[in-house]
Amino acid sequence: MFIPPGFSQKSVVTHLGRMVYYTNDGEFWNTNSIAQQNERIPSNKLIFLHAFGGGSSAYEWSKVYPAFATEYQVLAPDLVGWGRSEHPAINYQVDDYVASIIDFIEQTHSQQSTVVASGLTAAFTIRAAITRPDLFKSLILVTPAGLKEFGEDYSTSFFASIVKVPFVDRLLYTTGIATSQGIRTFLEQRQFARAERVYPEIVDAYLESAQQPNAEYAALSFVRGDLAFDLSQYITQLSVPTAIIWGQKTEFTKPELGRRLAAMNPQAISIFQQLDDVGLTPQLELPGVTVGLIRKFIPMLERQPVAV
């Protein structure tokens, strides 16, 4: 699986299982003189959390997080059930991932971290920040949605209903999701705004993650809608300064949904940025733009008073 130069693989044990993460090595990124190269990497933490889907992993942020390696200690985990992390053969639930996000931050001593997260994981991160606001300095979230907001319930969709049928779910995963063509089709038709932005390395990275032993358990929990929840019931409790980025061409979660969520808590969510001609993962479609927005938002959020 692709790991950018200057990053190494480490792991922690959470209540859900062993979680692998990727972090910058100090000497490679050190900008001081040769005599000072033994100094530690920056103490400020910047954590990147990937979204869910067939073959998801920390690779999703790998074109973005190296840009911050000279200024922050970067941590980019494969959440449990995905990538190189442990894959317990269980039916995953919302509380599993909310608790494991908190676990990971505690285990890596990443107190008061800025967290960048996307998709359903971004919605879980809001839940985690509500539970433990002391761990979060600010949030930068890409398309945070629980997939059950405002009467739009993904778990009742036609595709989710099909995947709920026993044996059919495993068959669909092995023949339609965890294949090179299945991955490419999903990325081109559902995740990216433009098919030409999907290049072979992306497909290969998603495929490697999707074909890990027991990878189907977390993926099918997501596809069935087991992990869906109504974020609108929680978002007013958020107090951590937050910015939201939303791709204009997202499939199930349109920008209007994001604007409605942000409007429910303007004290905490002070920034809503729509990106035109982008789908669910601007961090892969337009990584340079995504880096620029994160750089812009971090100081803006640091100046924002904590919502009460």
What pLDDT digit, counting tens, does each position of 146-168 carry?
999 998 887 777 667 777 777 77
Q: Which residues of the chain have pLDDT under 70?
A: 1, 32-42, 158-159, 308
pLDDT value for 37: 47
Fold for domain 7-302?
Rossmann fold (3.40.50)
Strand partners, 20: 11
Phi, psi of 184 (to 5 degrees): -60, -45
Q: Are 114 and 84 in contact (CB under 8 A)?
A: no
**DSSP code of 229?**
B
**E strand or H helix at 244:** strand 242-247
pLDDT value for 35: 45
pLDDT value for 164: 73
Per-residue pLDDT tens for 125-145?
A: 999 999 999 999 999 999 999
Rounded to the nearest integer, the mean pLDDT of the chain is 92
